[in-house]
């Protein structure tokens, strides 16, 4: 593994950008290759087997590009396939996502925690193990909010429709006494201001993105894989969907200036394999 190589980051779509922006802030010298599998978004309502196939295919593509580390910046993908890709590619360091139940349990005053994610994340063993390990004596209320993935994919984070959807999803949790709402899907931090507004000031929204970027930094250090400080990191964004549409959503979510300057390229699925678009 070579420290000059890029870090691979994957998600079903634009959700992983919430992790990516923290990585850019904390690790500005790193090159990053981002894969948005927008041909297959959303992952949440799919079977674990189907999501696993996508994640293995994207991981193979990233390995073929010689990345030095992979971040599965998607809770659904991590739930379905983190153990699988670690088994298949034991020499590769792979950082995944799990719902941040631990910090929520530590901070909760009411003993009630709400976990917001998509169906695939709740189906996986990872979720059960996180709750089993960290939520002793807590009331953990889970809630699937698949509409928020579609809102973020449309770059819509605070329209009346977004507010309606957020209200529908979290009101029962807040009424049940939840004082911590865990964002268990990487698309959801883009709706954080709307969620906070609806939940009110007494509720803490737990967003794990910064902690995941810190973990990436630790893994780089453990393997002596950090780029030197005189290197300026470059991000290549790829989408298996329409690259023009990706660039527009990038503008809506992280700002027009970043989107205009972004290096966006196409990737395509063919016979179960992901490769650069011709």
Active-site residue numbers? 74, 185
d(C-alpha 238, C-alpha 244), whole Å: 11
Q: 155 or 177: whose CB is closer to ligand DGL? A: 155
Told to check if 12 binds ligand DGL by CB under 6 A, we report: yes
* CB 13 to ligand DGL: min, Å: 6
12/243 with CB nearer ligand DGL: 12
Smallest distance from ligand DGL to CB 18, Å: 8
Site string for ligand DGL, 186-225 (x = CB under 6 A): xx--------------------------------------
Helix (H, G, I), strand (E, B) or coil at 155: coil
Nearest to 62 by CA among 27, 32, 19, 95: 32
A 10 A CB-CB count for 86 gives: 16
In the shown chain, the binding pattern of residues 129 to 168 toward ligand DGL, with x for contact by CB under 6 A and - for none, equals --------------------x-------------------
Please say whether the beta carbons of 128 and 115 come within 8 A.
no
CB of 70 to ligand DGL, least distance (A): 15
| Distances 76 to 136, 221, 272 between C-alpha atoms, Å | 24, 27, 19
From candidates 38, 59, 93, 118, binder to ligand DGL by CB under 6 A:
118
Q: Quick check: 267 binds ligand DGL (CB under 6 A)?
A: no
**Shorter beta-carbon distance to ligand DGL: residue 108 or 121:** 121
Alpha helices in the chain (DSSP H): 17-26, 48-64, 75-88, 101-107, 119-123, 125-134, 147-153, 160-175, 192-199, 209-222, 243-254, 256-261
Q: Which residue has the tokens 């059960």?
A: 128
Phi and psi at residue 275, to the nearest 5°: -150, 170
Piece of 69-77, 124-132, 135-143, 262-270 that binds ligand DGL (CB under 6 A): 69-77
Q: How far is the CB of 249 from ligand DGL (least distance, A)?
A: 13
**Closer by beta carbon to ligand DGL, 118 or else 238:** 118
Q: Which is nearer to ligand DGL, 5 or 84 (CB)?
A: 84
Q: Kindly compute the dihedral angle of the four CA atoms of residues 35, 37, 41, 46, in this order, to the nearest 10 degrees.
A: -110
Q: Which of residues 74-103 bind ligand DGL (CB under 6 A)?
A: 74-76
Give the nearer residue to ligand DGL in terms of CB position, either 41 or 162. 41
Q: Which residues of 225-248 are buried (b: 16+ CB within 10 A; e: fewer)?
A: bebeeeeeeebebbbbbebeebee
- Phi and psi angles of residue 43, each rounded to the nearest 5 degrees, phi first: -80, -30
Nearest 10 degrees: CA dihedral of 27, 118, 238, 62?
A: 70
Residue 38-57 contact track with ligand DGL, rule CB under 6 A, x = bound: ---xxxx-------------
Count of residues that interact with ligand DGL, criterion CB under 6 A: 16
Residues near ligand DGL (CB under 6 A): 11-12, 15, 41-44, 74-76, 118, 121, 149, 185-187
């Amino acid at each position: 593994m070579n420290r000059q190589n890029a870090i691979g980051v994957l998600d079903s779509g634009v959700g992983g950008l919430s992790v990516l922006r923290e990585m850019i802030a904390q690790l500005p010298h790193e090159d990053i290759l981002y894969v948005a599998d927008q041909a297959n978004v959303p992952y949440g309502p799919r079977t674990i087997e189907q999501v696993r196939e996508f994640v293995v295919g994207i991981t193979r593509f990233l390995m073929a590009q010689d990345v030095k580390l992979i971040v599965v910046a998607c809770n659904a993908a991590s739930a379905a396939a983190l153990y699988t890709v670690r088994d298949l590619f034991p020499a590769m360091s792979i950082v995944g996502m799990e719902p941040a139940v631990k910090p929520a349990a530590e901070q909760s005053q009411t003993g009630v925690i709400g976990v917001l994610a998509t169906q695939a994340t709740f189906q996986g063993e990872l979720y059960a193990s996180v709750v089993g390990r960290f939520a002793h004596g807590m009331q953990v209320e889970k809630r699937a909010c698949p509409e928020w993935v579609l809102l973020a994919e449309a770059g819509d984070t605070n329209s009346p429709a977004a507010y309606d959807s957020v209200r529908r999803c979290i009101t029962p949790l807040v009424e049940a006494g939840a004082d911590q709402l865990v964002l268990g899907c990487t698309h959801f931090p883009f709706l954080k201001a709307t969620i906070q507004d609806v939940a009110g000031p007494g509720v803490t929204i737990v967003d794990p993105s910064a902690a995941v970027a810190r973990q990436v930094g630790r893994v780089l250090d453990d393997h002596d894989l950090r780029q030197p400080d005189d290197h300026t990191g470059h991000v290549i964004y790829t989408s298996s969907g329409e690259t023009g549409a990706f660039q527009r959503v990038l503008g809506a979510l992280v700002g027009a200036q970043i989107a205009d300057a972004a290096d966006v390229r196409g990737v395509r699925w063919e016979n179960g394999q992901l490769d650069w678009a011709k």
